[in-house]
């Protein structure tokens, strides 16, 4: 096709015509992609790693009429929720030209800026200025450019039965600062959507940027052709889940070297975290880390839990359940010896979280040292330490917190090299560690 590839929309009418307003959503020309030298394409300058928000420039990804030619990023805002926005527009529930009213949406707490925000190698998977759209890019908003926040900061109370238990046994106390008289935890929350600086992401994984772009194009079904046709656009907003940070105590203490920091980096496990499945230790680890973070805050330090949307080791919940079935049905039962093997048989790889991008959020928070890191994951530990952050102590989950059926996972991980303060099981020992059989979980 010619430059600025377009195709004519089908001329035959739909079988069930929809109302006229929906029919007028788009004109008859479909812009499949754009090119750097195309007429009307003049992206707003974007200098990743610049020293200030103004020098860096806003991230602009919208295809709205007023913004289309000024876009300096590939993809769509909203992370994985961009698809639901498209559906809302298609059915007439949301006007395609809707612009948010950002009145009174500013952050509840000041975080940063820190030196890492202007280091193009320290932060490559999020926009460090994504929470300050109105503050720094109001001029562009006033000109009609569709600039959207990718970070939001708020505060809340958390009410958990496990925290009630921690108070009851004297582990936490109602101090009015961290734990209210009603037993609720005071927390500062940060939500962040992914914003990838493609050269930095490629460098982090030790691959060519062109290889990364091609893989992203191919394995999303060709969803974003500009990954191929717009090498001048270096920023990509992928349609994946983001992360949430939960801060217990004063956020300013995170970057204060005189204050202790307890932290957990947790990857989503819906079955355990939300519904209490006992085949893994995810919820026990999460609850334990929340308790430890709150206690650190009560002792004058600060606690942080970072929650990533990487369900099933980023393999997804369908793959995870297929693996569960294979584990329970295999000859000899669900043994620790075959724990990773079953995952590899189904998914082709045992883990796709690839923690190389994970430390970005820690650098955004100003973390220089973690006094207590609650995790047994070597992958997370090495990613953090290799990014320049010191970890003083590694903390694993106490034995009495582990559900019986989760022993398969824990022992397999320890044998595979995960951190432990206890005994490392041998091959023969792994064969003896078994989970429930199907007849023990029949419905």
Start-end of H helices in 64-160: 82-90, 133-142
From the candidates 334, 353, 360, 372, give the one annotated as an active-site residue: 353
pLDDT digits (tens, 9 = 90+) for 13-50: 443 444 444 457 788 888 999 999 999 999 999 999 99
Q: Are 370 and 261 in contact (CB under 8 A)?
A: yes
pLDDT tens, residue by residue, 419-438? 777 777 666 676 676 777 76
**Is the pLDDT score of 202 beyond 80?**
yes
Catalytic residue status for 146: no
Q: Indicate whether 291 pLDDT > 80.
A: yes
Rounded Cα distance between 143 and 167, Å, is: 53
353 is catalytic: yes
Helix, strand and coil in the chain, % to nearest 5: 35, 15, 50
Say yes or no to pLDDT of 311 above 50: yes
- Closest C-alpha among 379, 82, 371 to residue 236: 82
In this model, does residue 207 exceed pLDDT 80? yes
Lowest mean pLDDT among 21-35, 106-120, 147-161: 21-35
Among the options 127, 267, 273, 351, which is catalytic? 351
Q: What is the pTM of this model?
A: 0.91
Region of poorest pLDDT, from 36-40, 53-57, 121-125, 433-437 = 433-437
Neighbour tally for 93: CB within 10 Å: 9
CA–CA dist 183, 396 (Å, integer): 26
Per-residue pLDDT, 29: 85
Q: Which two tokens stand for residue 319?
A: 């793959």
Q: Name the pLDDT band for 441 (thresholds 50, 70, 90).
A: low
**pLDDT tens digit sequence for 183-193:** 999 999 999 99
The dihedral of CA 150, 47, 108, 371: what is its sign? positive
Average pLDDT of the residues of the chain: 90
Looking at residue 401, what is its pLDDT?
Answer: 85
Q: What pLDDT score does 10 carry?
A: 40
């Amino acid at each position: 096709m010619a430059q600025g590839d377009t195709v004519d929309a089908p001329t035959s009418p739909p079988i069930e015509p929809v109302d006229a307003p929906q029919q007028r959503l788009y004109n008859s020309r479909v812009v499949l992609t754009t090119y750097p030298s195309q007429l009307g394409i003049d992206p707003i300058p974007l200098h990743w790693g610049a020293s200030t928000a103004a020098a860096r420039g806003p991230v602009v990804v919208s295809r709205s009429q007023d913004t289309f030619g000024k876009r300096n990023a590939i993809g769509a805002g909203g992370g994985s929720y961009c698809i639901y926005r498209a559906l809302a527009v298609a059915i007439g529930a949301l006007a395609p030209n809707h612009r948010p009213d950002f009145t009174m949406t500013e952050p509840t707490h000041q975080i940063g800026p820190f030196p890492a925000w202007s280091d193009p190698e320290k932060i490559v998977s999020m926009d460090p200025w994504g929470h300050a759209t109105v503050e720094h890019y109001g001029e562009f908003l006033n000109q009609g450019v569709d600039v959207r926040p990718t970070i939001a900061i708020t505060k809340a109370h958390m009410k958990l039965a496990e925290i009630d238990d921690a108070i009851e046994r004297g582990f936490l106390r109602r101090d009015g600062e961290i734990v209210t008289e009603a037993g609720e935890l005071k927390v500062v929350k940060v939500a962040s959507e992914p914003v990838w600086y493609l050269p930095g992401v490629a460098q982090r994984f030790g691959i060519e940027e062109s290889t990364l772009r091609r893989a992203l194009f191919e394995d999303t079904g060709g969803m974003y052709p500009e990954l191929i046709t717009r090498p001048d656009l270096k920023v990509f907003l992928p349609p994946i889940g983001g992360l949430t940070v939960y801060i217990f105590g004063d956020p300013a203490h995170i970057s204060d070297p005189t204050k202790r920091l307890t932290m957990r980096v947790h990857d989503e496990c819906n079955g355990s975290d939300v519904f209490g499945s006992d085949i893994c230790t995810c919820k026990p680890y999460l609850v334990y880390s929340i308790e430890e973070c709150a206690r650190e805050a009560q002792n004058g330090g600060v606690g942080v839990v970072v929650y990533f949307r990487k369900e099933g080791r980023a393999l997804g919940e369908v793959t995870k359940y297929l693996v569960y079935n294979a584990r329970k049905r295999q000859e000899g039962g669900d043994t620790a010896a075959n724990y990773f093997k079953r995952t590899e048989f189904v998914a082709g790889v045992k883990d796709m979280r690839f923690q190389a991008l994970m430390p970005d959020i820690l650098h955004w928070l100003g973390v220089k040292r973690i006094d207590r890191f609650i995790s047994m994951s070597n992958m997370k530990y090495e990613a953090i330490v290799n990014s320049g952050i010191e970890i003083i102590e590694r903390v694993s989950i106490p034995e009495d917190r582990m559900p019986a059926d989760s022993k398969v996972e824990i022992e397999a991980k320890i044998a595979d090299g995960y951190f432990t303060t206890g005994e490392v099981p041998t091959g023969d020992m792994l064969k003896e560690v078994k989970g429930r059989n199907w007849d023990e979980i029949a419905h």
